[in-house]
Amino acid sequence: MLTDAERERFAQIADVLIPSAEGMPSASQADVDTVWIDVALTHRPDLDELFRSALVVGDGLPGAEIVELLNAEHIPAFEALGTLTAGAYFLNPEIRVRIGYPGQVPTIPRNDVDSYSDLLENVVERGPVYRDV
């Protein structure tokens, strides 16, 4: 669990990475800092340490400067921060609805000989392609 101070700091940085634009909410407006980062961290606990190290870089700087500093000098922490921020954003069901993404849905494998024939038609028309050894 993040502390209140870490959440506040994360919200500041996350809104630089995902600002409000074109009708989409910013990261903090999508509850990335309060709800979804916790879910993202349960899925990617391997990024926890790097993520938390990103939150202490550039203490007192504005969010945009922190992002620049992370990108220039703390690349692994910046990558963890970006991965978790984007992942947390798209975990929000409201965001998925807005972009038209239903989530992962099962697909039934086709056992249709005609579909395989269609795929192989170009190969058959081309003829054999090989080199003698």
Residue 118 counted as domain residue: no
Is 95 domain-assigned? yes
What band does 112 get if pLDDT is binned at 50, 70 and 90?
low
Q: Is residue 17 part of a domain?
A: yes
Q: Phi, psi at residue 39, to the nearest 5°?
A: -65, -45
In a domain, 76, yes or no: yes
Beta carbons of 118 and 110 less than 8 angstroms apart? no
- Give per-residue pLDDT as tens, 43-70: 999 999 999 999 999 988 999 999 999 9
Q: Domain of residue 76: give its range.
A: 4-102
Contact 78, 54 (CB under 8 A): yes
Give the pair of three-digit tokens for residue 53: 């190290």
Residue 88, in any domain of the structure: yes
Please count the structural domains in the chain. Answer: 1
pTM: 0.77
pLDDT band at residue 107 under the 50/70/90 scheme: confident
User: Whole-angstrom Cα distance, residue 32 to residue 114?
Assistant: 47
Is residue 130 assigned to a domain?
Answer: no
Between CA 72 and CA 79 the distance in angstroms is: 11
- The answer to whether residue 115 sits within a structural domain is no
pLDDT in tens, 15-50: 999 999 999 999 999 999 999 999 999 999 999 999
